[in-house]
Amino acid sequence: MFTHRAFRVIRVLCVRIIPVRDARLIHHPFHYAMGLQWLYLKGIVHASIWNCYNEVGHKFMKAPECFDILVRNGVVDEVVSRLMSGKEADVYVVQSKGELCCAKVYKDARSRSFSQLSQYQEGRKGRNSRQSRAMQKNSKFGRRETEEAWKNSEVDALRTLAASGVRVPEVYDYTEGILLMEFVVDDEGNGAPRLNDVRLTGAKAREYHREIIKSIVLMLCAGIIHGDLSEYNVLVGKNGLVIIDLPQAVNASGNNNARSMLERDVANITAYFGRFAPELLSTDYGREIWKLYASGALSPSSELTGLFVQSDSPADVKGVMREINYARILHERSLARVSQQS
């Protein structure tokens, strides 16, 4: 019989053998779960002990009520632990069909602390014209649709980016405001650390910077800007860097703040890698990428230099005003035709 006392012994082994990057995780149940799995894979503990984990491991945490439907439907076997709590969602490690996955539980609008939300939501569309009008009028129904659109946006972005070749967590399921997705691991099978938790050399910083810039280009070619990209939203997985946290993803062609958000994303990443490779601080990939995108010349194979030359040609103000007046005249004629028909 595998007793709780025996399990406590295994927990001590996990703490002493499995390296912990963050001291706060030493007594975290997820660390014990991963540690026990590591001990089993290394042959240090018998398979029967690992199998018995399911009998006592669930004692670590009672599943929150939001998981009740997923548990009843067999989508989630058990909740191992809470991995992190963010400004827009809580992330849990769960067991689904025998595999460890991540479950992201989105907070409702009253609980979220994400600032300047309207800047990110500009350009998002409802499922049909009725939903779009309601969202614009900010009616009760419109606010409900806006909330649902906020929660669905990350699912849509993850699937779009994965199809475009961007390395993001794989989406398994989404229901009742809970996103079930891939649990990203490192080379040793442990939970992948955030980029901020990894010590880099100058060479590795330059390599990772090139990788992230390439991902930003792929995202923009797919019409998406992360909007909150930093070293805290990138995981160092076994197959490379993985971009996470995309509920605030911006529509590149439908948001007036798209350019500034793209440049900010690039600036954040460059500033971080610049700590290890100072020469990166003199690059200007953000404005270079946007110039190519705005001119329709950006592609996944675009060769970037990190240089940007501002045009000295004066703006054609008269030409812009002509276009505005032409559009105004067309709009007025359209309204006149509608009034005549009615």
Predicted TM-score of the model (pTM): 0.71
Higher confidence at residue 23 or residue 221? 221
Q: Tell me the average pLDDT across 115-128.
A: 55
Give pLDDT, residue 35.
59
Q: Tell me the average pLDDT across 271-300.
A: 96
Degrees, nearest 5: CA angle 40-1-99: 40
Q: Round to whole Å and give the CA distance between 67 and 76.
A: 8
Q: Tell me the average pLDDT across 187-216.
A: 94
Residue type, position 274, single letter: G
State the DSSP H helix or E strand holding residue 51, giving kind and residue range, or none if neither.
helix 47-51
Q: Are 218 and 165 in contact (CB under 8 A)?
A: yes
* DSSP 8-state secondary structure symbol assigned to residue 280: G
Give pLDDT, residue 13.
57
Of the given ranges (110-124, 273-287, 324-338), which has the lowest mean pLDDT?
Answer: 110-124
> Which value, to the nearest 10 degrees, does the dihedral of the CA atoms of residues 31, 36, 38, 39 take?
140
What are the tens digits of pLDDT across the range 92-104? Answer: 999 888 888 999 9
Residue type, position 222, single letter: A
Higher confidence at residue 320 or residue 286? 286
* 22 has a pLDDT exceeding 80: no
Half-sphere exposure of 99 (CA within 13 A, CB side): 13
Q: Round to whole Å and give the CA distance between 316 and 234.
A: 41
**Alpha helix ranges (H) inside 79-201:** 117-121, 129-137, 140-163
Higher confidence at residue 146 or residue 290? 290
